[in-house]
Every structure is written in C-alpha cells, then in structure tokens.
Structure 1
Amino acid sequence: MMGHSHAMTGAIAWLGLAPAFTAVPLLNESTRFIDTGIMATALTPAELIAGAIICAGSAMLPDLDHPSATIAQTFGPVTWALSKAVNWIAGGHRGMTHSLVFAAAMGFGAHWLAGRYPIGRDIMVVLMIGLALRAIGVGIPGNKLGSAMINIGLTAGLYTVFMSLGVGYAWLGLAVGVGCLIHVVGDCMTEKGCPVLWPLAARWVLPWKIGIKTGQKFETKVLAPVLSVAIVGLLFWRLAPI
C-alpha cells in the first residue's frame, strides 16, 4: 500500500477501536480513572483526535526499511540514513519491520517512553504528527521547502493545541502498536504479502492468493476515497452530540 493509504487505515483503526481500548485501566490517566471510574469514557475528544493522528503517523513506521518510502524522505538526510540502516538490519524491504514482533516492540517501547521520559514522549508525539501530515499529502505540490514549512507549522500548532487541552498520553504505546500492526495487515492485502511471523520467512497474503497492486487504480481511485469517507463518518459518529 502507498503511504496515504497506510496513514488513513491507521486513523480508521484508532477511531474504530479506541473506545474499546479505553476499558483497559493502564491505558488511561490514573487521576481520571479515580475521578470518573468509567473507563469507556476516559478518552476526551481531543485525545481521540490526537490518537487518530498519532496512529496514522505510526502506520508509516514499518516502511522505515524502504529508503524511497515517504517516511524515509520526511525529515531529510536524517530519516534517509536511518532508513538505509534499518533496511540493512531488516534484510531489505518488508522484512523484520513488517511483522508482529516489530509492532509489539514499537508499542511496548512507546508505552515505556510515555511513562518514564516525558521529553522523549513529546518528541515521539511530534514526529508521529509530522509523519501523518506528510503521509496524507499536506503541503504544496512540487515545492519541498514550502511543504516542509507547512508541515512544521501545522505539527507545532497541533501539538500546542493538544497540550493546551490537557491531552494525556497513557495510550501512546497502544496507538503506536496499532498503527504498526494495521500497516502489516494492509501490506498483507497486497500481492507480495508480509513475513507476519518473522523470523519465519513465510509471507502472508490476505485475502488468500488475492493481492492488491500497490499504487494502481484500485488503490488510488477506489480505496483512497472510501478510506476518506470512513474517517469522516467515524469522526462524526464518535464526536457528534447524542
């Protein structure tokens, strides 16, 4: 799948599943749990939206093993060099990073970071917001510098808004893990599949023996609009007054 498809499926996964995830006490701010005692309503609207954006950005992380992917180009030479290193360690594109092991490791790592190091947590939040904006194509076509400046400005603005609204990030690890996992599921729907049970080399393709061709008309003309409508519908469903 292309970057924007991965990002949108990440946002959809969060908007669809987050209310159920909030039933887990460790994924909520302890003070709010003590105050309300109701886990199903622990996510505020701002946290729901923040989670959707971060999950969308995290859905780009498995492609860090591809030096030509969106994520490798997002932050210039830094992410490109990191991508080259990950590509070598992972044994090429769609290797280790496209597995359950990677998704779990990133999820638990982010959860640990959120609980131990606030500065590191905030850096990760900012990076995931930036990745999400880049993936969905926010910017000026054909103008890399202008697009980068818009991305930086919007990322800083969103982070500031989330901070001003008191967004808690006890769910950060879950959003990151789900984003990585939904990326793997998406690529399993393409013709090449993924080594889901890495280090086992077998590649999984879903639906069985039916693969979507990445970047072809079905993805760009059919799937992308459907995913966009799904995001709008889920936002309305979750946030509209009852």
Structure 2
Amino acid sequence: MRISGKTAVVTGGSDGIGLEIARHLKAAGAGVIVVGRDPGRLAAALAEGFDTIAGDLSNAAGCDALVGALAGRPIDILVNNAGMGATFDVNAPFDLAEIDRCIYLNVNAPIRLIAGLLDGLRARPEAMIVNVTSGLAIAPSAKGPVYCGTKAGLRSFTMALRAQLAGTRVHVLEALPPVVETRMTEANPHNKMPAPECGRQIVAAMQAGRKQANVGMTALLNAVYNVSPAIARRVMIRY
C-alpha cells in the first residue's frame, strides 16, 4: 500500500507501539488520527502534529463515540492497536472487572470499530485494516492466560475477516509483535524489542501489502510453530 496521502486511525496511538506506528505512518506521508485515553499523552501527540481523539475503547459507549467522531471523515487505514493485560492467577486474587475491560478492549473493540467503519473503508480506492495481536496469539504463556486468549481470539477473527474481504479493496494485515519495551511490559524480565523498531517493521509490512507481520522474534516462534506446534507451545507456556 502507498501510505502517502492516506488518512489513518491508530487506537492506543498516544503511547508505546501505537505511537511508533503513528510516527512511521506520518513520516511516510499519512495524516494520522491518534486515539487514546491519557490527556497528557494526547496533548504531546497533538504537539507532534497528529490529530487526536480522546476515547476509552474498553466499553461499547466509547467505541460507538469514536465511530461517531469519525463519521464523514475519509478513513483509509484503521490500526486496531489499543490493548491491555489483566491478571488471572488461580493462586492469587484477581479483578474480574479488569478482566472484563481487557477482553472488551482487546477483542470486542476491534470488531466493533471494524463494523462501524467498514462501509467507509470499502468506499475508499484502497484501504487497510491492521489488527495488532501478539506472538502469544500463536502459543500462550501461563503468566497471562486472559491476554493470550484475547490475542488468539483476535488472530482467528482477523484470519476469517481477511477471507471475507478477499477480492475487495480492503486489505487485512495481522501484526504480531514480540515482547516490546513499553509501559505495559515494564515488569517483564525478558529482552524487549525497542518500540520504534517494532513500529517501523509493522509499517513496512503495510507498505509491502503483507498479510502477516511476524515482528522480531515472533518470526522464529512462527517458524517453530509451523514445524512443530507442540514444541512451540511447550516453550512458550513457561515464557
């Protein structure tokens, strides 16, 4: 896809991977609308030259409000990047409300935004939906069952959506990052990919028209999984 001249919406775009995707899209000539919740980070994004929309996508009202705010605007690219983790440990207390927010933000919100914006995307000469899942969508880790489950669900949805939109002007890309250096992964002891490089690789995959972007070490995980799903699962369940 030629990025220059396109208008992109990036959810969770005021921080982490989303902000780096937005920066690389802007550098490639796109007009970028950054969606986020934190007023300070949105103000910083506005100062960088992005359009911004404040929104909480962890509930139906927030998703519908974003679709309404975008009504009438020619959107060529939708990047569903917003996401969160939630603790679920059978040996410790957990917050069911937080788990519900995680499931909604990671799975329901992308589906709801696609449903609300699809007619507009189909009307564009060339359009793209980018769903950011995770290497953990390929094989889960016992440390994050809810997060892994939501990303695996979004991965399956993305594959089926791509098949439904085959032959149309709407291209569907799944981006699968490894562990990336963001606020969400501060407590993760593993080596982390710098967020700018992750964003660069995702936008490069968009420009190349790829169906799947296995970013960083996710490429190795995907290769192992293709040879032996059992080995990939055994390795990652302890990750």
TM range (shorter): under 0.3
Q: TM-score, normalised by structure 2?
A: 0.25
Larger proportion of strand: 2
Q: TM-score, normalised by structure 1?
A: 0.24
